[in-house]
Amino acid sequence: MTKDTTSLRRTEDASPELPLAPERDGYGPLPRGINHIGITVPDVEAATIFLRAAFDGRVAYEGLTPSDPPREGPDTERQLGLPSGAKIVRQRMVQIGVGPGLEVFEIVDSAPRPPAKLSDLGLNHVSVYVDDIDSALKRAIAAGGEALSEPHENSSHEDTEGNASVYVRAPWGTLFELQSIPNGHWYDETAEARVWTPPAR
């Protein structure tokens, strides 16, 4: 279902340029953008196997290897908001195509919480842009992911022609959204910015 928004729709390619955003404010230079997103997994190696197979994830660097001492103690707990006694035993930066990296943590904690659901407060999913949602879904399932449904249409502003979306649960429970918006987002007169979309490979 494509919205009838003829009077409002402006595709990314056809819309006029938005005003340039300021580079600084009274505090100094403004943030550039999202650098990386952190996820915690039960096993960094197993998670990396899934990220490679499902999304062509590639290791950028190891932040903490098995030969390194764990990050733990009162200072670490205070700096990172960890519960008492928790310790980071593995840390790895994985890159999927172009865009923010995924910082993958393996943390030993006596009472870990289950993975976030979409209804939970805070970060709840990672969206991966794909050009062919059917093949991308087959790849993610073959890698061990679980599709929550069949591909369906995106929500408003992402529902231009040819759009599709589907959530996939990784083996450890994190939600990944496969998303395709080949004809761009649409914007109305309230838009202050445009959504960034990864370039084609």
pLDDT at 13: 47
pLDDT at 201: 81
Joined together, the tokens standing for residue 100 give: 């923010």
SS3 for 76? helix
Question: Rg for the chain (alpha carbons), in Å?
Answer: 19
What pTM value is reported for the model?
0.85
Joined together, the tokens standing for residue 78 give: 């205070």
SS3 for 48? helix
pLDDT at 33: 83
Joined together, the tokens standing for residue 49 give: 């196997």
Q: Average pLDDT for consecutive 10-residue bins of the chain (201 residues)?
A: 44 58 86 90 97 97 96 95 96 95 95 90 94 96 97 92 96 96 91 88 81
pLDDT at 83: 94
pLDDT at 18: 73
Q: How many CB atoms lie within 10 A of CB 35?
A: 9
pLDDT at 19: 74
